[in-house]
Amino acid sequence: MRGRAPTLRDVADRAGVSSTTVSRAINDHGFVSQDARAAIRNAIDELGYVPSASARGLASRRTAMVGLCLPVVAADLLHRPGARLAGAPAQPGAEAVSVVVDPTPDAILPWGGMYFGEVVRGAEFAAWEAGLAITVAMSRSPDLEARVLTMAGRVDGMVVVSGTLPDDLLEHVSRRVPVVVLTGLGSASAHDRVTVSNAEGVERLVEHLVADHGITSLEYVGAWAGTPDDEERFRGFRRALLRAGIAAPESPRWRGDLGRRRGREIGEELVAGVARGEVLPGAVVCCNDDTALGLLDVFSAHGVRVPEDVVLTGFDGVEATRTSDPPLTTVEQPMAELGRAAVAALTARIAAPSRRTTVTSLPVTVVLRGSCGPHSDAP
C-alpha cells in the first residue's frame, strides 16, 4: 500500500472482519467481540491506520470541536506601522533579524487584553479534559455573519461572549447548535449563561472607598455603551453611592474600549484638567484593569500621586495589577474558571439538549492594594 494511506477497508481485510465491525470498534458503538477487537487493534498497528475525524463526525453527527466567539476591542488592533499579531506570517523579503524600540504595552494584546487570554486558557483546558478541540472566531469583521455561521456549521456548540453578536445572529446560531453565553445578561436569558458577581463586586469596592477612606467624590470609567458586564458593574457603582447618600451619575463620565490605550487618553484628559485648575475626583473606579493601568501610566508620568492625589481601582485581577506601582486595587474574577465553566456548561447542553436553561454565577474577590491607600489587613 505504498503511496497511499491505509483505509478502513484495508484494516477490515487485514483483521478478517467487515468494515462495519471495524467502524463499531473504532467508534465504540455496538457489540464487537474481544477477539475481533484484538485483531482490529493489531491490523491498525501494522498498517499505521489513522481514523478519519471527519468520517467519524459524519457517522456520529459530532465534530469534537467547540467554537469560542470573542470580541475584538481596540487594543487588539495594530497601532504601529509594521506591527503584526503573534503567529501572523512575516512579509516576503523581511530581514531575518530586526531591532525595534519596544512598543507600548497595549500595542499588541491578543484576545482583547490580558482578561481574554485567561478565559481562553481555561476554556482550552476544559475542552482538553473533555476530549474536544476549540476553534476561535473574532467579531467585528466585515463578514461577521458569514464567518460565525460557517463556524456554527463546523462545531458541536459555541461559547459566545455576551454582546459580541447581534441578538438576531445569536438566535440564528442557537437554532443550529447549542450556545452558552459567557458573562453579562443582555439577551442571554434564553441560553445557558456563565457569569460573575459584577454588580456586587463593584458595590462592595465602592462601599470600602466611601466607608473606610472617606471618599465622597467618585467617577466611573465604563466600556462602550451596551456592554452587559459593564452595565452590571456601573449599576453596583450607583447602588453603593446612593446607599451612602452620595449623588450618583446616570451614566459614566467616560467610556472606553477596555484597552490600556484608551485609559491613557482618559488620564491625559484628567491631567489637562488639573493644569486648568480643575480638581481631581477622590477616586476613579474603572470597569476593567487594562483601562485603570492606562490611567496609572499617565498619572505616573505627570507626577499625579496614587493614592495621595487620586485613588484608582480596576476590575478583573490580571497579573499586571500585582506589579504596578502602586499595586492596583481591583475586583478579582476567576477568569480561567469562567472559560472552564462555559465549556462545561456547553458539553452538558450538547449531551442533554432538552435540559432546563442554567445560570452559573462565580464569586469575585475585592483585592485591596496600595492604589486605594493604607488599610488594615481585614477589609
Query: Is the residue at 95 inside a domain?
Result: no
- pLDDT value of position 293: 96
What's 127's domain CATH number? 3.40.50.2300
| Each residue's pLDDT tens digit, 14-54 | 999 998 888 888 766 678 888 998 998 898 888 877 665 54
- pLDDT value of position 60: 52
| Each residue's pLDDT tens digit, 140-168 | 556 677 778 888 888 889 998 877 777 88
Pair (132, 240) in one structural domain: no
Report the relative pairing of strands 218-222 and 133-138 from DSSP bridges: unpaired
Pair (356, 279) in one structural domain: no
Please report how many Cα atoms fall inside a 13 Å half-sphere around the Cα of residue 366, on the Cβ side: 20
Pair (110, 137) in one structural domain: yes
Pair (241, 315) in one structural domain: yes
| Each residue's pLDDT tens digit, 63-122 | 788 988 877 653 343 334 444 444 444 555 556 675 655 555 544 444 345 777 888 889
Query: Is the residue at 96 inside a domain?
Result: no
CA distance 30 to 24: 6
Share of the chain above pLDDT 90, in %: 45
Query: Is the residue at 151 inside a domain?
Result: yes
| Residue 294 and residue 266 in contact, taking contact as beta carbons nearer than 8 Å | yes
Pair (203, 176) in one structural domain: no
Pair (141, 266) in one structural domain: no
Domain that holds residue 42: 8-24+33-51
Pair (206, 309) in one structural domain: yes
Pair (192, 340) in one structural domain: yes
Residue 339: Cβ-neighbour burial (10 angstroms; 0-12, 13-18, 19+):
buried
Pair (108, 167) in one structural domain: yes
pTM: 0.74
CA distance 90 to 88: 6
Number of domains in the chain: 3
Burial string for 162-196 (b: 16+ CB within 10 Å, else e) reads bbbbeeebbeebbeebbbbbbbbbbbbeebbbbbb
